[in-house]
């Protein structure tokens, strides 16, 4: 099947993640994710792939056995089934031939993808671009990845003369709400030596550094009293929370930082004078500095507890780790093969740290190193999301080339 048609077929299944269901522990949060997984499973079976499993949680794993006589690295490729909850409408994808200027997404609603706001569009003149009608996400995040991976599997099935080690594809649900699918994944069932997520943006992007991420929840317990006789009795938990916030380092917040600069993000403050809950996100690329940030929060709470007693409680938890913690160096096989693949395909690598997280962070922490490859899409989580056809095809070519490069080490 043509890779573009494959992608368009996937976009017709609305797999918007359901945050309410996800918070209740339901996986997949949207039954349509299981429907999409079933469609993929059927396609893989039609190719003749026999080793396929689909769990009730909508985790799909497919394996093509090695056709080598000698051992070779077992390589896995990951994508997620869900799309972000920013928009819930069904996707109505369309293909346009881009020759410059603005792209009209919806004439009736006067919605345009503007070149002035998306300067990278100039790189795609003469290419076909897949866009929405301006009323939904496109779903290239992450259905472009699914199409690229399945297309690569089809290539190796149809060309058995091309030697390769074991190839594994894994599709998980609910990445868009706390990487839930990756957290539910048993990596021993994947059985790979290393892997790649396809879950970042424009052609050439390659990510193998992301945040070390932590959650901090601080609870402040006040003492209620009527204001007419509150003197000496009222303890306002809201003001206790503000005192804690005032002790955070000035300038170390998302709105003041970029690149590899870490931060404390005061994300939520809720309550009343009797009880207040403060939630803080902790982010840092360097593992040691991340630990220092978490230690700072603990010591701050301990210091205030010495004054306030049990009116303050703190809970600190790791959310996900930096993938580079597990790759260790730039010569790790997963990094080396990707860079070689880019070079052999004349794709300029755009290596940059991700100020966020992705499934690979969780998968890497479970023992399967997993950097992040481009899908070719732009403007994820937006009605202006778009996917150049050439970039989609290039993503699949990178997958194929990595597999053949790994085979040479057999």
What is the distance between the alpha carbons of residues 297 and 34, in angstroms, rounded to a whole number?
A: 41
| Alpha carbon distances (Å) from 176 to 19, 205, 266 | 9, 20, 21
Catalytic residue among 33, 154, 174, 175: 175
Tokens of 222: 């006040």
Helices of type H across 320-388: 324-327, 333-344, 359-365
Cα dihedral across residues 66, 68, 71, 72: positive or negative: negative
> Alpha helices of 191-286 — where are they, by DSSP H?
237-246
CB 65 within 8 A of CB 158: no
Residue 378 is labelled as binding a ligand: no
Residue 142: cis peptide before it, omega within 30 degrees of 0: yes
Asked if residue 176 belongs to a known ligand binding site, the reply is: yes
Distance CA(404)–CA(410), nearest Å, equals 10
Catalytic: which of 82, 166, 209, 359? 82
**54/77 Cα distance (integer angstroms):** 16
* CA angle, residues 34, 38, 43, in degrees to nearest 5: 150
**CA angle (156 as vertex; 152, 160 as ends), nearest 5:** 175
2 assigned binding-site residue: no
* Residue reference for tokens 């190719």: 47
Please indicate whether residue 175 is annotated as part of the active site: yes
Question: Is the CA virtual torsion 391, 396, 398, 399 positive or negative?
Answer: positive
Tokens of 37: 């997984």
Does the active-site annotation cover 287? no
Whether 216 and 277 have beta carbons less than 8 Å apart is answered as no
Do 101 and 21 meet the contact criterion of CB atoms below 8 Å apart?
Answer: no
Q: Which residues are annotated as a binding site?
A: 80, 141, 176, 199, 381
Active site residues: 82, 175
Q: Which residues are annotated as a binding site for Zn(2+)?
A: 80, 141, 176, 199, 381
């Amino acid at each position: 099947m043509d890779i573009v048609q494959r992608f368009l077929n996937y976009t017709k299944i609305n797999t918007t993640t359901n945050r309410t269901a996800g918070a209740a522990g339901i996986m997949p949060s949207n039954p349509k994710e299981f429907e999409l997984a079933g469609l993929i499973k059927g396609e893989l079976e039609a190719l003749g792939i026999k080793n396929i499993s689909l769990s009730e949680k909508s985790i799909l794993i497919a394996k093509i056995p090695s056709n080598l006589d000698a051992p070779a690295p077992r390589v896995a490729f990951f994508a997620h089934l869900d799309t972000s909850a920013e928009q819930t409408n069904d996707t109505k994808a369309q293909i346009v031939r881009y020759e410059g200027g603005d792209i009209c997404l919806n004439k009736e609603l006067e919605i345009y993808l503007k070149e002035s706001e998306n300067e990278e569009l100039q790189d795609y003149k003469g290419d076909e671009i897949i866009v929405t009608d301006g009323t939904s996400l496109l779903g290239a995040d992450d259905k472009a990845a699914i199409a690229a991976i399945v297309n690569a599997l089809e290539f190796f099935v149809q060309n058995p003369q091309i030697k390769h080690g074991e190839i594994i594809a894994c599709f998980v649900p609910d990445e868009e709400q706390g990487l839930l699918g990756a957290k539910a994944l048993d990596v021993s069932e994947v059985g790979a030596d290393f892997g790649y997520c396809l879950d970042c943006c424009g052609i050439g992007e390659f990510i193998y550094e992301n945040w070390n991420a932590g959650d901090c929840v601080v609870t402040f317990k006040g003492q209620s009293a009527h204001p007419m006789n509150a003197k000496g009795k009222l303890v306002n938990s809201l003001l206790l929370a503000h005192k804690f916030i005032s002790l955070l380092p000035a300038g170390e917040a998302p709105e003041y930082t970029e690149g590899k600069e870490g931060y404390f993000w005061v994300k939520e403050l809720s309550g009343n004078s009797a009880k207040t809950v403060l939630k803080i996100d902790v982010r840092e690329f360097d593992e040691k500095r991340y630990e220092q940030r978490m230690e700072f929060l603990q010591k701050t709470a301990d210091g205030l507890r010495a004054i306030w007693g049990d009116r303050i409680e703190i809970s600190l938890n790791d959310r996900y780790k930096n993938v580079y913690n597990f790759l260790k160096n730039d010569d790790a096989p997963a990094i080396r093969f990707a860079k070689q693949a880019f070079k052999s395909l004349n794709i300029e690598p755009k290596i940059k740290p991700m100020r966020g997280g992705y499934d690979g962070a969780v998968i890497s922490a479970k023992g399967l190193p997993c950097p992040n490859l481009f899908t070719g899409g732009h403007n994820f989580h937006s009605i202006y999301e778009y996917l150049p056809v050439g970039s989609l095809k290039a993503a699949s070519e990178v997958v194929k080339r990595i597999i053949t490069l790994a085979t040479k080490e057999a």
